[in-house]
Amino acid sequence: MDWAAFYGYSNEKPVERTMEAPFSIIDRAASAGRGDTRGTGSEGEKLAAGLLEKNGYLLVMANFKAPIGRNRNGAQVTGEIDLIALDGETLCFVEVKTRSSRDFGGPLTAVDNQKQRQITRTARVYRRIFGVFDVPHRFDVVTVVLSAKGTPEIELIRGFWTEAKFRKQSWTSDNAGYGY
């Protein structure tokens, strides 16, 4: 299947995109200053999008949000995926973590099991909405550390986790774990 055409991109002429195009829903006023976390995150997402495009990814969507269930108190939980992109035939759900320094740990430490589970659930909703069940997919992470020196450190980690990590396991008498 031609996934570029599926997502509305023509194969006949190249798609002209600026760094701003996939981020039209981001509040530009918030990204003006570096003092707030929203501005830091927006800046990191723009840098991550640039890195993905340089690595041959085709950006599909930014900041996809969807309800993914309810918490223990019955309140609705909304999941968000920072970037969704195609890497060849593989649909990539990309989490972007940005830090202004490494003083309190690197950005990768924030992509814990809870965050991975939330992104996995949101990706299932995305695949259900757009009917892309049989498409190979993976979960990538882009870490960005903005330094005061001016040059940010950007790293792409492909396949940081898999959906199988969060699948419910069924127990049978063969694997009941009695140790006999």
pLDDT confidence bin for 105, thresholds 50/70/90:
confident
Confirm if 97 and 139 have CB atoms less than 8 A apart.
Answer: no
Please state whether beta strands 137-145 and 90-99 pair in parallel, antiparallel, or not at all (unpaired).
parallel
Give the integer Cα–Cα distance in Å for 36 and 125.
30
Tokens linked to 67:
């309800």
Give the integer Cα–Cα distance in Å for 28 and 82.
16
Determine which helix (DSSP H) or strand (DSSP E) holds 52, and give its type and residue range. Answer: helix 37-54
Write phi, then psi, for 130 (nearest 5 degrees). -95, 0
pLDDT confidence bin for 168, thresholds 50/70/90:
confident
pTM: 0.74
Tens-digit pLDDT profile for residues 26-36: 343 333 444 56
Q: Which of these, 129, 132, 126, lies nearest to 3 by C-alpha position?
A: 132
R_g of the chain, CA atoms, integer Å:
18
Residue 101 pLDDT: 84
Residue 31 pLDDT: 39
Confirm if 43 and 31 have CB atoms less than 8 A apart.
Answer: yes
The three-state secondary structure class of 179 is: coil
Tens-digit pLDDT profile for residues 109-153: 889 999 999 999 999 999 999 999 999 999 999 999 988 777 899
Query: 180 or 72, which is more confident?
Result: 72
Q: Which of these, 123, 90, 113, lies nearest to 160 by C-alpha position?
A: 113
